[in-house]
Structure 1
């Protein structure tokens, strides 16, 4: 390890490699595409109603309860202990899946899986505390690629083992346990960060760098965000521009919370960032809800005990298709200021249509196709949304906005779960649930369709006013020349 520390240029390689290995093995879980058949089969013998109404909702509730405390604790204790905690939670989850029995035990499984997802923030934030800014893009790209490759490999491997080797679902969980145990071992070798984004930030006279990839989607400056998000970040206690007279609380925790409130107020005061965040929160809530119950729907359309199922292959294709779509976004030249919300509306219509298709069809292959369309469309849009939100935000502010958006999404998902799924609410059957989810995305599409229509109409009105003003100016250019003036003006 000392050899990496001796050369500053390469000091980012060691933690990046270890983190990538952790991400790969923690995501390489071939049992996940076949979780529903495993739990409803002879190994656990749980009914679809028990899983839908009593077991799976626990993940949503525990994730919501744990997210904010874990988000704060992660930065305060500097990431590594939380990554280790995630590894232990993985191991506990799969030990209980293998050897536990009954509804109550499976609810405990869902609680620990909620801990796993709540601690994911440490995995993605860790890299910013141990590598220099010039290596952010490479390091974070490697980490995200590791998890993507691992999920695809796990899904393909699971399908091959089930279809060709007729391997029991129990042994898929054994493989998953071995994989997450390897991830835990790698987490122990991560170097301990000396700083963090908020509680242990180092004073700096320069604004922190933007998140990697922030300029990939749109090369045009985001005027609405500049005054909000390009100020000097002052979490270390050094006042920024215009803040010299601001009170500085002595308590570091209080100072961090005060700064968070200021940053959130400033960032969300941007209408553009607010509406992109709104779509992010509502769509992520719907997406997570669909992912949580899609295997129940598949089992309803084609019971796993009497049908040949291809859940692993479908997940692999959906993940690959979503990754390709997300990658392609970086090469699309679009005026997202003008057409961004129209894209959100159009693809939300696609999502709604895919969910309605999954509800009404009786053919499992059509249901699979609807899921492929839905997941690919969401991954495409969430990539655009992330870039649009991050493009002029510092790393710290992006992490804060990401955390709050995720928390709001979980609140929305919890409300939907309580009303639609939970036995204390309507307790709707799985087929009707997907009709509700399709209607949910249709409402999102309607809201953003109205917003985008208003934005495009306002832009056209501004163009007409500008043309009229140009043609009526006595000393201005000749009436046949206003096109050049308009083309030179950013609308």
Structure 2
């Protein structure tokens, strides 16, 4: 394959995106953010970091998520990937050279922007890769970020423990890595179409049609009803209403000219209709609610766990980087293991959600009460592995019934709801304008929060199991009746 052919294939943007994701995630200073802030470099107090600085990330992430989600699609993905690189650079410039609590709040706003623009990174690939490669490429991109984060944590731990490198130097290394990622983002090709605003006229949705009990589809994508005029006009009533996933015609890798911009009103109406269709499905709603609730708690824990570690053992040798690396690998292993567990999650999933949420509640309460840093480290690794195990199951159960557009919508809504809940929790429990509680009390509350989740899902799981057992019992009785009828039937 020549260089020109390779650059025009799906492999080129995949490689660039993986390189970008690796360097964006390789940030050796991240596990040591709190020690850096409360140390001589920034000289902030734990209360300022915990109650005034960190909440800004939650608020900015929530406010920016929805407009960034729309801008990502409207601007063809690449500008938002570049913007993420800029946001990372601004974050580390401020961390390195700015002083004072207001400057550190600006750090959290910039980091909130980088978090919100992450949607561009994970959705970009679907616009330049054929659908048959979605699973492969998604795994490669996520693996790249995972490897980058693990590498950054390991490098940070080695430099701190073995070489005695300062946290300031770690931030310089992180700044270098995200700058490389920013330069790499410019090499990405700009997609010619997107999921919502920029439709490719050569790619048309082929809806399922039921006729004589058989599913049939219209393969003639060039028929008059599928031809769009130059001034695109879309009838909202033509948007599919069914919850069943629509089938798609394979997109050509290099789409033909003829992309048309869909009006924002049509896009919003389509999103609203898809939203109603998706969330009226009780099973999807149940898994989505847990997804949002648990992600809210997980983000709170990971956001404030460094503050907890610093509180428990302020003068100890810091092994945050090693713990983050081990916890990430443990989480990846637990998520990978889901694919090899043969369980009917439609029956046992709710019980599993409730049981593991109970475990998470106990972990967080013990972490708040423990006075040993190694206990806190070990429990955090267990907590992260438990969450990743369950979120993988939840993601699979939600995604298996969705088309690509609805996948983006549902997980966007779930993330927004998680951030909205996190914002409420942060404003009440953490923010100095709210209760402004210390971090130990916060973790007790987070433990109670997961305890509430476990109670709800254990009760719901018990109902599901009872209904399943009754159904199996009825089926056995029916089978026995049929056998009895056949045995006593006259010859």
Instruction: State the TM-score, normalized to the length of structure 2.
Output: 0.87
Deviation at 1:206, TM superposition (A): 4.6
Q: Distance in 2 between matches of 1:470 and 1:374?
A: 45
Q: Distance in 1 between matches of 2:15 and 2:371?
A: 46
Deviations 1:183-209 (A, max 9, x none): 00000110000111111132434559x
Residue of structure 1 equivalent to 2:233: none
Structure 1 pair 314/4, CA: closer, same or farther in 2 (3 Å)? same
Q: Distance in 2 between matches of 1:301 and 1:276?
A: 35
Flag structure 2 segments of 5+ consecutive residues without an equivalent. 208-240, 252-260
Q: 1:36 aligns with which of 19, 30, 34?
A: 34
Deviations 1:258-295 (A, max 9, x none): 11111111111111000000000000000000111000
Q: 1:51 aligns with which of 31, 46, 49?
A: 49
Q: Distance in 2 between matches of 1:477 and 1:148?
A: 60
Q: Distance in 1 between matches of 2:486 and 2:37?
A: 75
Deviation at 1:357, TM superposition (A): 1.3
Q: How does 1:91-130 map to 2 (within 5 A)?
A: 91-130=89-128
Answer whether contact 1:471 1:478 (CA < 8 A) is retained: no
Residue of structure 2 equivalent to 1:457: 466
Q: 1:269 aligns with which of 267, 270, 280?
A: 280
What secondary structure sits across from 2:340 in the alignment?
coil
Residue of structure 1 equivalent to 2:303: 292
Q: 1:396 aligns with which of 395, 405, 418?
A: 405
Deviation at 1:477, TM superposition (A): 4.6
Deviation at 1:251, TM superposition (A): 6.2
Residue of structure 2 equivalent to 1:152: 150
Structure 1 pair 190/476, CA: closer, same or farther in 2 (3 Å)? farther
Q: How does 1:229-308 map to 2 (within 5 A)?
A: 229-231=244-246, 252-303=263-314, 306-308=315-317
Q: Distance in 2 between matches of 1:27 and 1:251?
A: 35
Q: Distance in 2 between matches of 1:253 and 1:54?
A: 37
Q: How many residues align?
A: 444
Q: 2:358 aligns with which of 345, 349, 356?
A: 349
Mapped pair 1:414 → 2:423: yes
Deviation at 1:466, TM superposition (A): 2.3
Deviation at 1:367, TM superposition (A): 0.6
Structure 1 pair 468/138, CA: closer, same or farther in 2 (3 Å)? closer
Q: Distance in 1 between matches of 2:141 and 2:44?
A: 36
Residue of structure 2 equivalent to 1:438: 447
Residue of structure 1 equivalent to 2:336: 327
Answer whether contact 2:198 2:262 (CA < 8 A) is retained: no
Answer whether contact 1:470 1:477 (CA < 8 A) is retained: no
Deviation at 1:228, TM superposition (A): 1.2
Mapped pair 1:358 → 2:367: yes
Q: Distance in 2 between matches of 1:62 and 1:364?
A: 31
Flag structure 1 segments of 5+ consecutive residues without an equivalent. 209-225, 237-249, 480-491
What secondary structure sits across from 1:56 in the alignment?
helix
Answer whether contact 2:355 2:454 (CA < 8 A) is retained: yes
Deviation at 1:229, TM superposition (A): 3.2
Structure 1 pair 28/109, CA: closer, same or farther in 2 (3 Å)? same
Answer whether contact 1:96 1:109 (CA < 8 A) is retained: yes
Structure 1 pair 288/145, CA: closer, same or farther in 2 (3 Å)? same
Structure 1 pair 182/460, CA: closer, same or farther in 2 (3 Å)? same
Deviation at 1:233, TM superposition (A): 7.7
Q: Distance in 1 between matches of 2:367 and 2:119?
A: 32
Structure 1 pair 457/172, CA: closer, same or farther in 2 (3 Å)? same
Q: 2:383 aligns with which of 370, 374, 380?
A: 374
Q: Distance in 2 between matches of 1:260 and 1:337?
A: 27
Residue of structure 2 equivalent to 1:213: none
Answer whether contact 1:4 1:11 (CA < 8 A) is retained: no
Q: Distance in 2 between matches of 1:442 and 1:417?
A: 18
Answer whether contact 2:23 2:181 (CA < 8 A) is retained: yes
Structure 1 pair 205/70, CA: closer, same or farther in 2 (3 Å)? closer
Residue of structure 2 equivalent to 1:245: none
Answer whether contact 2:6 2:12 (CA < 8 A) is retained: no
Deviation at 1:227, TM superposition (A): 5.4
Deviation at 1:32, TM superposition (A): 0.2
What secondary structure sits across from 1:280 in the alignment?
helix
Q: Distance in 2 between matches of 1:80 and 1:151?
A: 22
Deviation at 1:133, TM superposition (A): 1.3
Q: 2:87 aligns with which of 86, 89, 97?
A: 89
Q: Distance in 1 between matches of 2:483 and 2:320?
A: 70
Deviation at 1:353, TM superposition (A): 1.2
Deviation at 1:478, TM superposition (A): 4.9
Deviations 1:124-166 (A, max 9, x none): 0000001111222222111111000001010011000000000
Q: Distance in 1 between matches of 2:485 and 2:369?
A: 61
Residue of structure 2 equivalent to 1:6: 5
